[in-house]
Structure 1
């Protein structure tokens, strides 16, 4: 059963200070999370000076990748509903001297998107019950040619799906449950933006989807 919003917030509040360390434990099972994040960010094709929103930015693990693309003249807006996670993100930005990052404490379902050149969400949007509406509203604020990139877990097709219960223990501490397989954000990307490119990796348990808004 999917965790509630309050349970999810409490979970990430408890994990905030050690989140980066625990996320790296995925490497023990051969999951190179940073490579997936990089693939999603690269899919945005951001340019220096662009504005990008990250939904569910957490501690800011993607900030370095985003900052390398938009530069100091660009703008990064990080959205997360857990203040403790954003506190870690704020420390990360200060540590690196990134003054062009704005952090917003807000549920993704309630965030009012500004006009942006790109939107990113990695391992977060599937946790939002209203993901389709979030994608619809974000798509309406993308500039022509702008892209929305999502990297997340999903249930593969065929016999590989039988392995899902074995892979649940490493992800359950982050709010993942098998019933989240019924949520398909990539389909919402295609519905609201079209021009969808999707890549399945790790035997189909992880995907990176990028949709482009028509000019």
Structure 2
């Protein structure tokens, strides 16, 4: 399944990059997600599942030239776009790896000097087998005083939700590999909702809330927590 997903997202890397950067309201969301990380100049932040790197410049703005930004993703064509997007920054590093087993040890290509101050994960937990477990690992990674921020797409609860959710459901089905299936054993949207609920609930259990918001027509849920 991992190989199948890598091939799928690699094949559509160009389209995802366009969506990641051009969707109405998405730049404002990414800026808000970076702000929710509560970063200061000189801090270190890791983005799990950085995709084509749309968030990385916003994170770099927060940590400044003296900080460190690391983006992790498992799909090579996607990472190539992220590297090109951040080539001008010598303190932004893009690594190939699994968000549930990030390559952050002393032998990693971009070894971290000191503590990790924040972890950001946008539109990632719905792809994981154990999203709550991943959130636990990310909380342990930043430790006391660190911040974990999640942003994920789920059905809108706003009064105008029906047409928005119809579009959302179509996107979910088309972005669930393989897209050629007419039937799924488990409804993709329901499975996605369950994973997102599990991840955001676990973060609220583990951390003191510093952000709990919705964006982009109520479709995107942003939750940020500070570890004590």
Counterparts of 1:1-215 in structure 2 under 5 Å? 4-24=1-21, 26-27=23-24, 32-94=25-87, 97-111=88-102, 115-156=115-156, 162-163=162-163, 164-175=165-176, 177-179=188-190, 180-183=192-195, 184=197, 185-195=199-209, 197-214=211-228
Number of aligned pairs? 205
Q: 187-196 vs 69-78, which deviates more? A: 187-196
Aligned-residue offset at 1:189: 0.6
Deviations 1:21-53 (A, max 9, x none): 2445633xxxx1111111111011111110000
Question: Residue 162 and residue 80 in structure 1: after superposition, are their counterparts in 2 closer, same or farther (change >3 A)?
Answer: same
**Any unmatched runs of 5+ in structure 2?**
106-114, 178-187
How does the TM-score come out when normalised to structure 2?
0.79
Distance across 1 between alignment mates of 2:62 and 2:53: 15
Q: 2 CA distance for matches of 1:135 and 1:144?
A: 14
Please give the alpha-carbon distance, in whole angstroms, between the structure 2 residues aligned to 1:47 and 1:12: 33
Alpha-carbon spacing, 1:140–1:22, altered in 2? closer, same or farther (3 Å): closer
TM-score for both structures, normalised by structure 1:
0.84
In structure 1, the residue corresponding to 2:95 is in which secondary structure? strand
Structure 1, gaps ≥5 residues long: none
